[in-house]
């Protein structure tokens, strides 16, 4: 799923939610917890 398709999905389904893009990877639970 591309970032653009995620943006479109949330724009249609949940326009009140904001997408947050992070500089660092959060690909794993351990990385996300840092």
The predicted structure's pLDDT at residue 10: 94
Give the pLDDT mean for 4-29.
Answer: 89
CA distance 31 to 28: 5
Give the CA-trace dihedral at 11, 24, 33, 12, to 10 degrees. 0
The mean pLDDT of the chain is 86
pTM above 0.75, yes or no: no
Domain count along the chain: 1
Q: Please give the pLDDT value at position 14.
A: 95
pLDDT at 11 over 80: yes
pLDDT of 27 over the 90 cut: no
Q: Is the pLDDT of residue 16 over 90?
A: yes
Range of the domain at 20: 3-33
């Amino acid at each position: 799923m591309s970032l653009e398709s995620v943006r479109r999905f949330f724009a249609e389904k949940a326009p009140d939610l904001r997408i947050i893009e992070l500089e660092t990877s959060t690909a794993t639970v351990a990385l996300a917890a840092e």
